[in-house]
Structures are given as C-alpha cells and as structure tokens.
Chain A
Amino acid sequence: MKEKKAKELSETTVALLFLIPLIIFLFGIVIYPIASSFAASFSKVDVRTYAMKFIGLSNYASAFGDPYFIHSLMVTLRFAVEVVILTLGLSLGMALFLNEVIPFRGFFRAVILLPYALSEFATAYAWRWFLGSEWGLLNGILYSLGLIKDYIWFIDYAHSVDWMAVAYSWHIAPLCAFFMLAGLQTIPEDYYRQAKIDGIGPIGRFFKITFPFIKYAILITLVLATFFSATTADIVILMTGGGPGISSSTLTYYIYEITFKSFNFGYGAALSWLLIVIVLILGVTYFILLTKRRM
C-alpha cells in the first residue's frame, strides 16, 4: 500500500522533497548570515552589545580612501598572479608525468596528492618550518652545499608574498593536476602514433594534440587558482601574519585584522562584501565556462 502511494509521486514532487533539506540549510546557514553581514556593512556595530546603527554608505566610502585597503588589494593581486603561474606550471608537469605508463603509479599519485590532502593550516606551518631562519631545512641544505655563508631570512619584507605563493601553489597544484590528468586520459593513443608517423616532434605533438584536450582544464585551473588565492585567509594568518610589517597583508588578512583585532565589525563587513563581489565575478565566470563547454 505504502509502496503504491510512493509510485504516484511525480518526478518533480520527488525532486522537491529531496531538495528540502538542502534549501533549508542554505537559507539558514548561508543566506541569512550573509544577508545580516550585508546589513552590518551599512552600520556601526557596537563592540559590547553588537547593536547596529545605520550609517549609510560611509563604511564603503572610507574603504576607497583607505591606503591600507588599496595596499591589501595590490598584495592580493600579486599573490594571485604568482599562485596562478606557479600552479599552472606545476600541475601541468605533474599531470603529464602521472599520465605516463610508469611503475609504482599508485605510490606517485599518493605522494603528489599529499600536499593537497594537507590542510592550509598544516601547509602554513610546514613551510614556516622549512623556510625557518634559525633551524630551517632549506637554509640547512643551502649551507651544507656551500651556497650560503650564513642562514638567510627568507620571509623578509620584499619576498614574504612570493614565499606564501610558493607554499600555496605547493598546496593547490595537485588538485589542478588531477583535473588536467582527467583531460589527458581522454586522448586517444592513435593520435600520438599518427603524429609520430607524420614526423611531428614532441613539442609539436604537445601543442597539436595534448593542448586541445586540456585547454579546458587549464582554463579551470586559472579560475580556481585565482579564486582560491583571493579567498584564503588561513595561509596568511598562520604563515606570515601579514608581515613583516604589512608586506603580505592580503585583503582577507586585512579584513581579519579590521574585524577581529580592531573590532570594527561594520567596516570589516563592508570590506568582506567588496571581497564577495570580486569573488562572485570569478564564480560567475566559472559557471559560464562550465556551461559553455556543453554547447
């Protein structure tokens, strides 16, 4: 009897029933909080009572007159560009390597995936330790090889962003490598055989055969790497703390500082909405890329 009744439910009804928990959660724990942060961005939020007083656009207005905000945008941009370049190179190399027929494939896959399985938290501390100026391993290696006379302070004012980009690319490149690997594995073996018969060299083969199959994965890597580097806060807080000075203070770190160190919640909310706008543009781009592919 019960079974019969269930049969009469239309596809649409079942679909809606199955979507109910998701919709409730999305509204309760994502939409509502983010809407209340939108309200906070137009308000002055009391540090003790958290009562909001409407002050119009002045939080947004002060952002554009704030040199630290502009600085943090430039740091984020530099960080993102470096992460994109490094991630692209690394993941392409990893994917081409993993696509070859090699012994111990499972082992290499696990080892190459390892940095991505690590949290950003662990990534930050692993690299802090690795680059340490007191007992760091990189210093130790360079010293033992006689390349440096004394230990170097790697994470200095000029290079803190660069090292953060290296650490972050180390973390996310394996993910992008697996996207590219999925593309590589769809290439028919005959294509390469035919190209060899036609006398096309390895570089020609890469651009004529391999590239068209991973073009899409490369595009996704570009968007994802930009998106990840624009939104990460963990790596900055834990690896450099925005420093030395404000040299590696990205927008996310600046939001963290304004909100949870200066307790200026209204201004922090406004800055975070500016970040959301940037990120939504990237998200929509991502969505359009996904849709386009099917056309």
Chain B
Amino acid sequence: MGVRGVVLGVLAVVFVVWSILPLYYITIAAFMWETDVVTRPPAFIPRSFTLTHLLRILGFPAPGPTGEMLRPAGYPVLEGLTNSLIVAAAVTAITMIAAVPAGYVLGRYQVPRRNAILMLIIGSRTLPPIAIVIPYFIMYKTLGLWGTHLGLILAHLALAIPLITWVLMGFFATLPRELEKQARIDGYSRFGAFARIVLPVAAPGIATCAILAFLTSWNEFVMAWMLATGSPAQTLPTVLATMFTQNIGLPLFAVSNFLAILPAILVAVILQRHITRLRIVDPLTVVVS
C-alpha cells in the first residue's frame, strides 16, 4: 500500500461519492413509498421497493401502498419520450449526412478557404442556444413551424452539425495518411477510397459521433422549451419541466427525474471506452492550418 495507495484510495472514494451522491437519492426515492421518502433524516438505504411510481408516470394504473389501485399520473411522458426519440433520430441521421463528408475533407484534404470554413464552424458552434432560439421563435410563429417535429429537428441541427463536424474533422485527421495512398494504388477513385477504405476504418469513431449527435438533441432543453412546449411535438425534457412547475408530489417527481438521468448512465458506460482511445472529444488533435 504505502502513502501512494492511501492517497489514491481516498481520491477514489472522494470522486465516486462526488459524482454519484447528487444522483443517488433521486434514484432510491423513485422506488420507495412516499412515507419512506419524506423523513428526517432521510433513508440513506432504501426502506421499501415499488414500481408503482414508474408505472403511473408512464401512464398505467398501479397499486398504492395499501393495495388500492391508483390512477395513471396523467402527464404525457410517453408522448414526450416518443417525440424525443423521433427528433433525436432524425437529427442524428441528417447530422451524419452533412458532417461525415465535410469532416473527412476538412481533416484530410487541401481545401480552398479552409480557415474561413473553420471560422464559420467555430462561429456557429459558439452561438449560445438562447441567442439562436429568438429568431427561430419568430420565424416558426410566422411560418407555422412552431410546435412541429420538423421545426425542432431544424433547430437542433443548428447545434449538432457544427459540433459533430468539428469533432469528426479532428478524428479523421488522426487516421494514418497511408490509407488513401494505398487505396489509390489499388485503383480506387477518391470517392471509392473514402467509401470503401476510410469509412470502414473510421466506423467506431463515426458511431461514437452519432451517439454524441443523438445526445445533443436528446438533452437539449431551452430550444424545445421555447419552440414546442404544450404542443403535440414536445420532447421529454419539456414535458418533465412542465410537470415540475405543478405540484406532482415527491415520488412522481423523483421517478421522472430518474427517467431523465437513465440514458446518461448507459452513455457514460459506452463512451468512456471510446473517449480516450479515439480522442473523440479532444479538439487538440485537430490540425489547424
């Protein structure tokens, strides 16, 4: 062990507690009866277990603590989930169509006016969502795109495309130069070299970027809040935020919070493997000019 072991052990505990503690109580409270949640001091270890809150929030009746059936919570959580999925899937697909080819040539080709294009991408990337949402709101109200899936998809693309192009550019730049050279010797055209040789090699990085694009849309709040609240196209964060402004009771509050954090737990597990190996979020690897 020694001093090093003790220091590392302490750090391990500190960082794990720091990262998990704010989420821990939401998670256990989501599956306990209300009487076990509202106690002082709180239950540090779960005292009961029930799926009632989860079922009710998803729109099903479920038995209460004394066995009587409780009505569904009556919030459009399932619709929100479906909308979030539709919007995020479309944003992912369109983002990859625009960002993969662009990231490829920006990362590996001599491109005329490269710096101007890079400035355009960084400029777009740095725009605060709250600033972009104002013109979108005015446009959508006049064009009839307010509260539609298409409207939300376009707005989220404004966030996702610059980000993913930037990350992919850095990623493509790290692949070995010999890939295309060899492909050209083997008789592939420039396009063939890209499609048949580079793309398969780059597949894991592209897949990780697709997850990032999906998350950009899935996690987005302020645009969805201004462009779709209360409409049939509203996404999950919007539905949850609306619920939280009403008094829904602690267990329902906890379980909907839990729904909001659930995808992130899966993603953290998937991404941690790629994030250093592919240097996927490391813009430092981008070769500028």
Contacts and interface: CB of A to CB of B under 8 A. Distances in A.
* A, B assembled together: yes
B123 to A, nearest CB: 7
Contact of B141 (A50, A137, A144, A151): A50
Nearest to B153: A29
Contact of B226 (A183, A260, A279): A260
Contact of A106 (B18, B134, B272): B272
Contact of A217 (B158, B222, B225, B284): B284
B281 A175 contact: yes
A34 interface: yes
A119 B134 CA distance: 22
Contact of B18 (A116, A170, A269): A170
Interface stretch (A10-18, A54-62, A189-197): A10-18
Given A15-B105, A26-B120, A125-B257, A117 B131 contact: no
A11 B110 contact: yes
A114 B38 CA distance: 27
A256 interface: yes
B142 interface: yes
Contact of A272 (B41, B128, B158, B192): B128
A162 interface: no
A97 B11 contact: yes
B241 interface: yes
Contact of A182 (B8, B106, B129, B279): B279
A7 B185 CA distance: 12
Given A29-B154, A113-B272, A231-B129, A97 B192 contact: no
Main secondary structure of the interface of B (DSSP, over half): helix
Nearest to B16: A111
A237 interface: yes
B130 A231 contact: yes
A122 interface: yes
Contacts of A144: 41, 44
A237 B42 contact: no
B179 interface: no
A118 B158 CA distance: 21
A282 interface: yes
B49 interface: no
B169 to A, nearest CB: 10
Given A6-B189, A15-B109, A21-B102, A119 B260 contact: yes
Interface residues of B, number: 106
A114 B20 contact: yes
Interface stretch (A63-71, A77-85, A287-295): A287-295
A54 B11 CA distance: 59
A18 B8 contact: no
Contact of B221 (A121, A141, A216): A121
Interface in B28-50: 29, 37-42, 44
Interface of B: 8, 11-12, 15-16, 18-26, 29, 37-42, 44, 97-99, 101-102, 104-106, 109-112, 117-132, 134-139, 141-142, 154-155, 157-158, 161-162, 165, 189-192, 215, 218-222, 225-226, 237, 240-241, 244, 250, 253-254, 257, 260-261, 264-265, 267-269, 271-273, 275-276, 279, 281-284, 286-289
Given A22-B102, A121-B219, A272-B134, 19 more contacts: A6-B190, A17-B101, A26-B121, A26-B124, A108-B12, A111-B268, A117-B268, A118-B261, A119-B219, A126-B23, A137-B25, A178-B275, A238-B241, A256-B222, A268-B134, A275-B128, A275-B130, A286-B126, A290-B284
Q: Which 10 A-B pairs have the closest CB atoms?
A: A119-B219, A18-B101, A231-B128, A22-B102, A283-B126, A272-B131, A6-B189, A37-B135, A140-B42, A117-B268
